[in-house]
Amino acid sequence: MKSLSSTAKEKIKLVTINRNLMPLKEAKVSITAPGLSYAALVFEGIRAYWNQEHKQLYIFRLEEHLNRFLNSMKLLKFIDYPNIQSIKSDIISNIQANKYQEDIYIRLQGYIDDWGEMAVRTPVSTSIVSYPRPRAIAFTEGKNFTISSWQRLDDNASPPRIKASANYLNSRLASIQAKESGYDGGIMLGPNGKVSEGPGGCIFLLRNGNLITPNITSGILESITRDSILEISKKIKLKTETRDVDRTELYIADEIFYCGTGQEIMPILSVDKMLAGDGTPGKITKLLQHEFTEIVRGKNSNFENWITSTYKN
């Protein structure tokens, strides 16, 4: 049986490397590139949402993704990287060339190309790969998590706030361990024993009507979805707290959800078999899913500045 990801790969048509559009099979990287041999690679995962009525594909929070991409390149000491405005127009051209009329996912990468030792800082190549990606079934159904025995990496070792591929060794270990143990995902604790995040998303929990999420300094990626949820909550007058979260708070939470560009807002039904509420997607989780969906599809004028149109209608 084919995996979902292999069928998604078959749908990839034109990709962009260093500003040039080409079929995927022509897009090659050298095996000597430090991006490959030393994980000198940063990336972004971005979603764009189709609005049938507007005949428009809206990219969600493109500016914020580009800003984080820039920070990732800065922190890894890349030099002579392309200007962010050119990357922005390449993303839009890639989508236009592929003529999508459905929800898509865009993976933008910046990496040290060619050849060189571990600390080499140039040349920086960029790639853009986009493909159709409908909403996950788990958005409705939810998933079951465990606390990972892998510790979340630390800012003084391999800064998790940026999206560097090297950080995903930590995520990969936690993810495989959780799946081998019969769970859908693993939540990692930081070096201080407090809740950090999952392998590819941030954690929110609801306790006594308060929506709680770990601090930005708790070894998490500076997640754009997390930020969006905090902003949306403000707008709909939900009380929020960003603070240290103990593992046992997850075991007695009323609701928990996982969030990120891929997952959007995904209910977590249980942690270590301890049910969140009654073990079904919670009321506040569903409310936030609804608000989020309206915004990303361009149906909430209060959040128009979060979406970028790709087609000239």
Among 34, 123, 142, 200, binds ligand PMP (CB under 6 A): 200
Q: Which amino acid is at 61?
A: R
Q: Which is nearer to ligand PMP, 144 or 170 (CB)?
A: 170
Residues binding ligand PMP: number (CB under 6 A): 14
Q: Which amino acid is at 296?
A: V
d(CA 222, CA 14): 29
Q: Which is nearer to ligand PMP, 120 or 127 (CB)?
A: 127
Tell the smallest beta-carbon distance from residue 18 to ligand PMP (Å).
24
Among 261, 270, 289, 310, binds ligand PMP (CB under 6 A): 261
d(CA 170, CA 32): 24
Per rule CB under 6 A, is residue 221 in the interface with ligand PMP?
A: yes
Per rule CB under 6 A, is residue 197 in the interface with ligand PMP?
A: yes
Per rule CB under 6 A, is residue 231 in the interface with ligand PMP?
A: no
Among 87, 189, 224, 307, binds ligand PMP (CB under 6 A): 224
- Which token pair is 71? 């920070």
Q: Which alpha helices (H) appear in the chain, and where do they start and end?
A: 4-10, 34-37, 62-75, 84-98, 138-141, 168-180, 224-235, 247-251, 283-296
Q: Which is nearer to ligand PMP, 14 or 42 (CB)?
A: 42
Per rule CB under 6 A, is residue 184 in the interface with ligand PMP?
A: no
CB-based contact 313:55 (threshold 8 Å): yes
CB-based contact 130:49 (threshold 8 Å): no
The contacts of residue 163 (CB under 8 Å, 6+ apart) are 42, 43, 44, 45, 68, 69, 72, 221
The residues pairing with 210 across neighbouring beta strands, listed in sequence order, are 207, 239
Q: Which amino acid is at 99?
A: K
Q: Which is nearer to ligand PMP, 226 or 297 (CB)?
A: 226
Q: Which is nearer to ligand PMP, 95 or 220 (CB)?
A: 220
Q: Which stretch binds ligand PMP (CB under 6 A): 13-21, 105-113, 195-203, 275-283?
A: 195-203
Per rule CB under 6 A, is residue 45 in the interface with ligand PMP?
A: yes
CB-based contact 185:147 (threshold 8 Å): no
Tell me which residues in 80-139 interact with ligand PMP (CB under 6 A). none
Q: Which is nearer to ligand PMP, 120 or 203 (CB)?
A: 203
* CA nearest to 50, candidates 147, 130, 149: 130
Q: Which is nearer to ligand PMP, 142 or 198 (CB)?
A: 198
The contacts of residue 245 (CB under 8 Å, 6+ apart) are 194, 195, 203, 205, 212, 213, 214, 218
Tell me which residues in 138-177 interact with ligand PMP (CB under 6 A). 171
Tell the smallest beta-carbon distance from residue 108 to ligand PMP (Å).
12
Q: Could you list the residues that contact ligand PMP (CB under 6 A)?
A: 45, 171, 197, 200-202, 220-221, 223-226, 260-261
